[in-house]
Structure 1
């Protein structure tokens, strides 16, 4: 009777033309029979484990549980609530079927959505790109996916992998297998969710990437280099994670993140210091496993040929990386990329050679080509505020009166009059006893200021003064046996000077020599351009 009165009120309202809400009306009488079963099904989740009960109070009461009845979300909060309900339902179904690992996985994703909802309601920034998307769900209202690239896909996969690895460090021991489970269950791993960018406030990075054609040629070269290097580190991180080396994977991810910040600067038109770009990765372990068969034996001559070819390829690979690094510090992107490609070619040739040797094949036919490279020498390990002086050796040094050449105990003292004569930088080598051809090979680091006029004056006029002494005994003082002087004008256009100086007694030559080297990071003006000619090893192709 009560239900009939409610229908009467609704009919009266319809006759008067008033709006009526039919969503609150009771169903037809024939639909009331299965209600006890439905109520039992609805009360069934109340007997689930406490882990599921903990996430129930946050669930929105008006969220539809049936995917078929799901409506298009109108707001960001509605979309988040729908996805939260979906993952809760998936967790309940997985636990009901006895799949505990899948249930824990869905509960962790539901917890992510709970935190996102709380942050969104509190007005904090939410990174929607980190939230997995259930299959078949529309995008969040007000957001649009950016154009996906291979780098974005790899980055999304690596971010999810790192998040799962971090969560599993604090999980129970039996959850060790969860690391590989989400890619087979969640569709995000098969097709990574692409980052979402608010359409109302587009970030500057996508806007800059859309106008990539408007960038200058040098900027496009820098951008291509940085993006290729970033992708290389991302792939290396993924490889390290698959090998269960999480520390190495995290280190590679941090470097990839630094490269991403530099890419953003280039796209925004800001200058980037290429000398701070991480070096290209070198795979010392190789990209494959060599299988050596006991029945495959190579002759001793073939083994020697293989060893010689591998040595040459390794040397050329290291030279290419060195030249690439030098051009990188100069900011020359084109030459940097060129030598990186040459290094990759040497590496591939080495892998082909190792594979042929492992299969017991004869050394491949090969020949040499003369290649001439124009390189720019730079000592990147030196800072711009230091100069290295190396006293290498003495040759046929004179002995003082009363001392035979085999009894000469020689050491060298030097003076560099910078910043001025009163504060000259001085030092001396260790004593090398009982020879007139001592091997010192000692390094001294001198402080300089490249832009200081006093330093330029010392370089152009004074140089470095050397004094060679015979070490005295307890009752005798040290005896001067000769002097030498090194001029430094060549540092204007060269970053290393290596000279064999004449040892003088006053102005009289003694016949002795002193070998010394001076190095700067780079020349004081201009570049130290050198032409290098190499016998380039070329392996002739064959079917391996």
Structure 2
């Protein structure tokens, strides 16, 4: 019979024997276990698919599963199935991922100690288990335990603890192998390194800073040195040969991943060999400690002189620079975690400084404690041990610690990272810093911009109900206000510009253009790029203009035109116009999506001739649904034909059509360094709450605060001083400040008192501005306090000026 179940054709004679069909159509006879064979292979491939995470392997396994499903359908329906075309018997599924990852961690912990340096990414390799591997691991465990005992008896406690830790890791690896796991023999480290004697006594006479730099370099030297001779070149050759053998073994075993990894390491050693052969500064500047040693080898002993020379040349370097160098040298996850820890520690310190400036001493002390708490984690990360970044407390305004930062070390920096010099505004770089007035102008302009940005975002986030983010922007605004007040005070007193820093702040910002109205669409035509020349025209003859058309209404579209630009195929128009559109109308969204803006580039053909069309460009505006600013370069067309050249245009809305949206943005933030002189008025209450430690006035200067305002602040806090210790402390600080203020004012001459009147006038204007801002925020209580301070400053101005007359 046939698998297809077909019967003889009715046209054939029953007496004649049926002719056999052609061989290609001859189905194979059915096998009794064909369905069972397909089912077994299908189940095996399905189990393997469930245990595989590699996308390429999953696609290959899915194709095999699909082929087996089709074969099963054919077999059940009686159609022929070619057994030879079926996928082969699948391999056994891998062991569960959890024990495997635990064994991998054990192996990595051992390798981190024996083979310090940047570890290459793990690759799939052929593992070995069984009694032989157990015996080898137990032997290594005993050797490390004996080495730990010897180190302890020699008085090297730290080395003994490290060896004991590795011994325990070997014990865990033995248990894992006994449980059925496998270990690559090439990854098993060699015997423990011999003990290194302690440095001789003359080294104790070195400077403490230099000793601290040389001490970490002595630990890697305890690893097993190579037996090869020939100095550094011989050491590199021996390690190259070892990695070539590992690469050859991996290629013979079909392990392409490990072979590629060995090839990458060999390329690093080739660069090191070339540096050694070049000699001189090339060899001295090469970081040989970044070369990963093969199994059984310690770090390069020749790397120590280079490190010693480098440390001798920079004996005054700080511990932070050494940690940064360690983070750069370390690779993989350990290096990423170390970099994240260093960055987070710096952020805690800067947050403490900011909190102290705004008078929030509780937050300042907490942030300083967090920064000190990073030290043990930094030491562990520098030693190659894993750290849990989830334990890091969040910064002010953050909801969680940067636990995911180590997984993405290339991500944008988080909050409070110091800007590079090249990132500063041009007005505050190079020779611009030599002109004090220019520096004051640039700092004042920047602070006013940051203050407006902070107030706008605080207002918007408060209206959106995001109180925590609004409070953070409000704090930034208060810091900018305090810095601006201090800057203006320094400028009034003709003092040199104060020191300043720019930092990167990672903050949530509302995506908007606050300078535009709600229904305003701004269109800017910036430049023409390589405009085509009409026939018979030279570039010096070309005179162009751009016509803008917004077809909101088919009958009467909105139009505008730029000015004419002569003699240039790359004209700079710098033209901006604004159209009023109803952003809530459906027709507006439809026009933005389907038709967009049209730009016609016209040129003058000559005297008494009509202007000609050089080309047209259309810009679709559908992206305004989710963005508020579009900056595009659009091609010039003649119908559907490109004529060459482009237009650079920008389109802005106040906020996207879908509504206000927030983004995590990096914002440059300016911080002014305050000296121990008189603080600006916006920080007086903060400073008094901090204990008044910086309340002193320098002799011979003019007070920058108002005595009447200080008395008003004391009157506000005094009723609460009996029940609130913080209020009592603030009152004491304000009273001390007022006494110093009066004493300084009593020693002032007529010229200084006239200058003091100018200070009072400036304070009055500042308080009026603060009251206006508070009213815009709908904070009537705050506005009333600032208005009261303004009245007190005006009253004192009248009293002092009347005595001068």
Mark yes or no: TM-score above 0.5: no
Instruction: Select the structure that is richer in helix.
Output: 2
| TM-score of the aligned structures, taking structure 2 as reference length | 0.28
Structure of higher RCO (CA pairs closer than 8 Å, 6+ residues apart): 1
TM-score normalised by L of structure 1: 0.40
Structure with greater proportional strand content: 1
